[in-house]
Chain A
Amino acid sequence: MHEYAVACEIAALVKQTTAGARVEKITLGVGALSGIFTESLTMYLELVLPDMGMESVKIETRDVPAVFACDCGERYEARSILTACPKCGAYARTVAAGQDCVVESIEVEDDPEHTA
Chain B
Amino acid sequence: MTQSIRLEKSAHALNDAVAADNRRLFGKIAVVNMISSPGSGKTSLLESLASRMGRSLFVITGDIQTQIDKERLENAGARAVQIETRGSCHLTARMIHDAAERESFSGVRLLVIENIGNLVCPSSYDLGEDEKLAVLSVAEGDEKPIKYPSLFVRAAAVVINKIDLLPYVTFDVDRAAADIRKLKSDAEILRVSCTTGEGMDGLAAYLDRLIAAKRK
Chain A residues with CB under 8 Å of B11's CB are 6, 9-10, 13, 28, 100-103
By beta carbon, the residue of chain B nearest A90 is: B185
Cβ-Cβ contact count across A and B, 8 Å cutoff: 100
As a 0/1 sequence over residues 53 to 85 of chain A, the CB contacts with chain B under 8 angstroms (1 = contact) are: 000000000000000000100000000011010
A16 touches B183 (CB 8 A): no
Complex: A16 Cα to B2 Cα, angstroms: 18
Interface size on A, residues (CB 8 A): 37
Q: Which of B6, B149, B153 contacts A104 (CB 8 A)?
A: B6
Pick from B12-20, B25-33, B73-81, B127-135 the stretch touching chain A. Answer: B12-20
A91 touches B185 (CB 8 A): yes
A109 touches B88 (CB 8 A): no
With both chains docked as a complex, state the minimum distance between the C-beta of B143 and any C-beta of chain A, in angstroms: 12
Q: Which residues of A94-116 are within 8 A (CB) of B?
A: 95, 100-110, 115
A103-B2 contact, Cβ under 8 Å, with A13-B14, A81-B153: no
A105 touches B4 (CB 8 A): yes
A17-B10 contact, Cβ under 8 Å, with A1-B121, A2-B120, A2-B121: no
Q: Which residues of B121-156 are within 8 A (CB) of A?
A: 121, 123-124, 146, 149-150, 153
With both chains docked as a complex, state the minimum distance between the C-beta of B90 and any C-beta of chain A, in angstroms: 6
Chain A residues with CB under 8 Å of B182's CB are 82, 84, 91
Q: Which of B7, B89, B90, B121 contacts A103 (CB 8 A)?
A: B7
With both chains docked as a complex, state the minimum distance between the C-beta of A75 and any C-beta of chain B, in angstroms: 17
Complex: A9 Cα to B124 Cα, angstroms: 13
Complex: A115 Cα to B182 Cα, angstroms: 55
Interface residues on B, range: 20 to 34
Q: Which of B5, B150, B179, B181 contacts A106 (CB 8 A)?
A: B5
By beta carbon, the residue of chain A nearest B10 is: A100
A9 touches B15 (CB 8 A): yes
Chain A residues with CB under 8 Å of B216's CB are none
Complex: A101 Cα to B13 Cα, angstroms: 10
A92 touches B1 (CB 8 A): no
A24-B12 contact, Cβ under 8 Å, with A2-B120, A5-B88, A5-B121: no
B174 within 8 A of A: no
Q: Which 10 A-B pairs have the closest CB atoms?
A: A110-B1, A2-B121, A92-B185, A101-B11, A91-B182, A81-B149, A106-B5, A1-B120, A110-B3, A103-B7
**A interface residue numbers (CB < 8 A to B):** 1-2, 5-6, 9-10, 12-13, 16-18, 24, 28, 33-35, 71, 81-82, 84, 90-93, 95, 100-110, 115
